[in-house]
Structure 1
Amino acid sequence: MRRFLYALILSLSLTISYGQDTITYLSEAIKENINPYKKASNKAYEKRDFEEGRNLFDSLVKNKLVGTKFDDFSLKVYKDKNVKINRIQKPVFIITYASWCVIPKGEIPALNILAKEHHDDLQIVVVFWDKKKDLKNIAKKFNDNIKVCYANEYYSKDSHIVASIKHTLGFPTSIFLDENKNVIAIKHFDSKIKIKTPIKEAITCSYNYFSKDINENMVKAL
């Protein structure tokens, strides 16, 4: 009986260990695959082959990054407590910006609408690669359903997320995570909305773009 229990405990231990060892985190996958991608991507953009550059990024995401586990990053929230992404008990839609980049007209109002609509089944997180003082004017434009966060090289505890996400994936970029914080999608997005576009039209265009992306990824996350 004692031998049987020992064998059972050993078997369970090995199974748990194996399960843990097979988890690949996003930062690990990026570190392992980013250099070949950058080399090929730089060549494509030197030739001004922008379509090939986009295809290379999409291939990196589809073949190497989707299905990985999002790292247990802790983010500083503007005017709120820090948040650990992996402790949010629902799918997460992350969008990265920088305060010195002009956010296209209509994009923030559209995200505010979507955050309210998906309050029960999705958390939208906006990450600015900035210091807190840089968000003084922009943060107040987002409603309370959106967690407005910031990370910067200036803060020592941000070095991992800055190196893993900002310096490799660039921005603006969206990352969609299922409720278990597995990566469902990563996407570069480039607004086609012109400066002179009427505000209502701009909001509608941004809303339709993000809504389609969110709904498609929600289905994939099931």
Structure 2
Amino acid sequence: MQRKLLILLFLFNLYSVYSQDTIVYFTDAIKENITPYKRASNKAYESNDIKEGKKLFDSLVKTKLIGTKFDDFSIKVYKEKNVKINRINKPIFIITYASWCVIPKGEIPALNILAKEHRNDLQFIVVFWDKKSDLKNIANKFNDVIKVCYANEYYAKDSHIIATIKHTLGFPTSIFIDENKNVVNVKHFENKIKLKTPIKEAIISSYNYFSKDINENLVNAVTKNRSFTTN
């Protein structure tokens, strides 16, 4: 009897270690949880309950997506060769747009300033859900520190990233990944700057909005990595 208990205890400990070491990828977490989320979210928005819709998204992020391993996507860069996520050896801040959506006044200049300030500790990636030809009027507005990328249903190899991010999370969305490629945060962002806002004021407002978010995510990434190392 005692021997059986020891064997069971050993198997339990082995299972616990295995469970802790099991890697959950971002794509898999999305696949497993997106259907019930969409069902509840659609119901909330159909009832015009915007607050509940945002609450559901935040819950999905907090309980299912944060801490997952971001997939090693290969993304096409407008001015360079394709970039693979795992080859970037620092935290990554991804923002998704579409060229046909109007980007709020001041947002691009603010991101350009922040990208230069964080050029040594953070890689900025802007992904447009478009074809390369759609970006010729907007790509050059971003500085060279930011990798301006594109993905579209038109390109067969983009089906994975399109299905995982665009068709599930929507846009504009930001994704913050630490240097170990763990997801730190996913956020729907909404810049509420009015069209008539003076450009300097718009840049400052956008800068403060993104700077606060970036700095909080950097701190969270360091804290979680230290906690993981200690344990």
Shift in Å at residue 86 of structure 1? 1.5
The percent identity for this pair of structures is 79
Task: Say whether residues 1:34 and 2:34 are aligned partners.
Answer: yes
Distance 2:101 2:22 in 1: 38
Unaligned 5+ runs, structure 1:
1-13
In the superposition, relative to structure 1, how do residues 55 and 20 fare at CA in structure 2: closer, same or farther (>3 Å)? closer
Scaled by the length of structure 2, the TM-score of the pair is 0.88
Q: Which runs of 5+ in 2 are unaligned?
A: 1-13, 223-231
Segments of 4+ moved more than 3 angstroms? 17-21
**1:191 Cα offset (Å):** 1.0
Q: 1:20 Cα shift?
A: 10
Matches for 1:108-147 after TM superposition, within 5 Å = 108-147=108-147
User: 1:158 matched to which residue of 2?
Assistant: 158
Q: TM-score, normalised by structure 1?
A: 0.91
Question: What is the Cα deviation at residue 18 of structure 1?
Answer: 4.4
Does the residue aligned with 2:43 lie in a helix, a strand or coil? helix
Instruction: Give me the whole-angstrom Cα distance separating, in 1, the residues matched to 2:73 and 2:109.
Output: 27
When residues 20 and 51 of structure 1 are mapped into structure 2, their CA distance, relative to the original with a 3 A threshold, is: closer
Distance 2:140 2:93 in 1: 19
Alignment root-mean-square deviation, CA: 1.6
Structure 2: how far apart are the matches of 1:59 and 1:79?
A: 37
Secondary structure of the 2:148 match is: strand
Q: 1:31-180 to 2 correspondence within 5 Å?
A: 31-180=31-180
For the residue of structure 2 that corresponds to 1:94, the secondary structure is strand
CA distance in 2, matches of 1:101, 1:18: 45
**Rounded Cα–Cα distance in structure 2 between residues aligned with 1:20 and 1:37:** 26
Give how far 1:119 is off.
Answer: 0.5
Map residues 8-19 of structure 1 onto 2, 5 A cutoff.
18=18
Pick closer, same or farther for the CA change 1:116–1:61 going to 2, 3 Å: same
Q: Comparing 98-107 with 17-26, which one deviates more in the overlay?
A: 17-26
Shift of the alpha carbon at 1:79? 1.5
**Counterpart of 2:23?**
23
Match of 2:9 in 1: none
1:77 Cα deviation after fit: 0.2
Tell me which amino acid in the other structure corresponds to 1:131: K
- The one-character-per-residue Cα deviations of 1:55-92 (angstroms, maximum 9, x if unpaired) are 00000000000000000000000020100012101000
1:190 corresponds to 2:190: yes
Q: Secondary structure, in 3 states, of the residue corresponding to 2:72? A: coil
Secondary structure at the aligned position of 1:176 is classed as strand
Letter in 1 for 2:115: A
